[in-house]
Amino acid sequence: MSKKDLAQLRGQKRVITTCTVKKGIVEDFSNISLSGVSARVFVDGKSWGFSSTSKFDFKSVKQTLENAVKLGKTSAKFKEQKIMLEPVKAVTADVSALAKKPLHNFSAEDIIQIPLEASKGARETGSQVVDAKATYISIEDDKYFLSSEGTRIHQNITRVLLLVDAIAKGDSLICPASENLGHAGGLEIFDKTSPYSFGKKIAEKAIRLLNAKAPPSGKFRVVIHPTLCATLLHEAIGHPLEADLAMSGGGFGNHIGETVSSKLVTIYDDGNVRGGLGYFPYDDEGVKCKHTVLIENGVLKSFMHDRTSAALANVQPTGNAHAWDYGVEPLIRQTNIGIEAGEFSLEEMIEDVKEGLFLEGTFGGQADTNADFTFGFQNAKWIRHGKLTEELRGANVAGNAIEVFKTIDAVGKEVILRPGACGKYQWAIQGRMVPAIRCEIMVGGTGG
């Protein structure tokens, strides 16, 4: 390597504990201990090489670094474009997420109680609940970042999640419902929402849906609850705002400064949201995470960047380079993406709709880089003459997010923090700060 080259080393210890309870039986209780080192180097002003190993000894780490240099050099031969990475000031930092109830104060028996209670809450809701699954997950990360620019960062962050699925069965119908809880922090997350009541709430929904009709199909004026808005925001607007996808012909192209959305919409990404699953003081290139305004009052302001895309776009990196773990390279990822609160209460948003749908809950989704998206909602209600009427089961909605976001004519004033996950080339868990929105969308229901 020459002096102009850049080397980054990431070391990580990760302990994952999972405990799954199905029908009141602990079906899985696991302890996953992982550790390893990755080396990423930028050589010849053109090319990155990446290599990782699960071996922690000096010889293996040195070999991994040499592999990365060789990979970078091999590929540099084929590249014409020089990338002028903005130099980064050396940072020394030691940060950790505060946990009021840290995991080490709890025994394995205490942990088991969490999914057991959630599963009990679901099963005790009614005999129609044929299956209830509750999964507790904790992820304890101890991460080190070192670079040849002199940066030394240690981050220690714990995340806790509870995932509950309930399935209700009627005479001929099977209705699933699910919901997730999650934050960066300790077990204090269950002080506000008890696992029992959380499980019960989900099972109640599954049972209720047994008597609901299938939703209709076609284009509708809809009020989208924050639970579903989170998926829409992440999948359909968030991804096209990631610079790597935007640069590969994404839906927002390079329309910085242009109006791309309804004027009521301001969208940001913020790694500093305390408690958000996407809480990261620094990213995996050692860049401090920021509050980045992406769309302001409908005008495209910025994309989410890593150092490479920032250099190509001639802007500052935004702290969005994140790797799922030591084993894989950092990619441009959302941290906690959000929509700024608007002025409407949920009632006010529904009041103005003559005929439409209220969509709630999410079954996840996917989006193409041109902002075409599909994702599922869990349940819906007809809105008729400004009032919520009969309940409907779930289906998918689809469309082009940029087109859909132009139709937003109301944004809710209450913003909630949601847990989220993403599978762009590698896994990630993230936060979402979302209000309800009102817009037009295509619904693919099987009913009339």
Partner 1 sequence: MDIDKDWASLNSLVHKAIKTLERKNVTHAEAFFTNTRTTEVTIRNSEILTQNKIDESGVGFRVIVAKNKVGFACTNTLSEKAILDAGEKALAIAKVSSESPNFALPEASKTPKVNGLFDSRIAEITVEKAIDIAKRAIDSAENFDKRVIAKDGRVLFNSGYRGIINTLGVDFEEPETKATIYLGGIGEQNGEVTCSCYDFKFSRIEDLEPENIGENVGKMVIEMFKPQTLKTFQGTVIFGSEAVSYQLTDVLVDGLNGESAFSGRSAWARKLGQTVVSENLTITDNATLEKGFASRSFDDEGCSSQHTTLIRKGKLESFLHNATSANALKTKNTANASRFPGGLDTAHMIVGNGYRAKPEIYPSNLVIHHGDKMKEELVSEITKGVLIESMAGFAQKGSGIISAQLSRAFYIQNGEIRYPIKGGMVSGVGFDWFKQVSEVGKDVKQFPNAIVPSLLVNEVKVVGA
Among 6, 7, 61, 71, binds partner 1 (CB under 8 A): 71
Least separation in angstroms between residue 386's CB and partner 1 is 27
The three-state DSSP-derived secondary structure of 33-66 is EEEEEEEEEEECCCEEEEEEECCCCHHHHHHHHH
Among 1, 5, 34, 142, binds partner 1 (CB under 8 A): 34
Least separation in angstroms between residue 53's CB and partner 1 is 5
The secondary element (H helix, E strand) that includes residue 270 is strand 267-270
| CB nearer partner 1, residue 26 or residue 90 | 26
d(CA 117, CA 200): 10
Q: Which stretch binds partner 1 (CB under 8 A): 74-82, 290-298, 313-321, 347-355?
A: 74-82
Restricting to residues 276-335, name those near partner 1 by CB under 8 A: 327-329
Using CB under 8 A as the criterion, what x/- string covers residues 117-156 for binding partner 1?
Answer: -------------xx---x-x-x-----------------
Q: Are 335 and 184 in contact (CB under 8 A)?
A: no
Restricting to residues 204-233, name those near partner 1 by CB under 8 A: 217-218
Q: Does 249 bind partner 1 (CB under 8 A)?
A: yes
The three-state secondary structure class of 173 is coil
Torsion of CA 143, 149, 151, 152, to 10 degrees: 60
d(CA 155, CA 424): 23
| CB nearer partner 1, residue 81 or residue 92 | 81
Among 232, 295, 429, 439, binds partner 1 (CB under 8 A): 429
Least separation in angstroms between residue 363's CB and partner 1 is 7
Structure token pair of residue 393: 């089961």
User: Residues 364-368: contacts with CB within 8 Å, 24+ apart?
Assistant: 364/231, 365/231, 365/232, 365/235, 365/236, 365/396, 366/235, 367/235, 367/236, 367/239, 367/240, 367/401
Q: Does 69 bind partner 1 (CB under 8 A)?
A: no
Least separation in angstroms between residue 380's CB and partner 1 is 13
d(CA 398, CA 366): 10
Restricting to residues 156-175, name those near partner 1 by CB under 8 A: 161, 163, 167, 169, 173-175
Q: Does 357 bind partner 1 (CB under 8 A)?
A: no
The three-state secondary structure class of 381 is strand
Site size for partner 1, by CB under 8 A?
Answer: 91
DSSP assigned state of 307: H
Using CB under 8 A as the criterion, what x/- string covers residues 368-407 for binding partner 1?
Answer: xxx-xxxxx-----------------xxx-xxx-------
Among 193, 211, 259, 366, binds partner 1 (CB under 8 A): 366
Q: Count Cα neighbours of 322 within 13 Å in the Cβ-side half-sphere.
A: 26
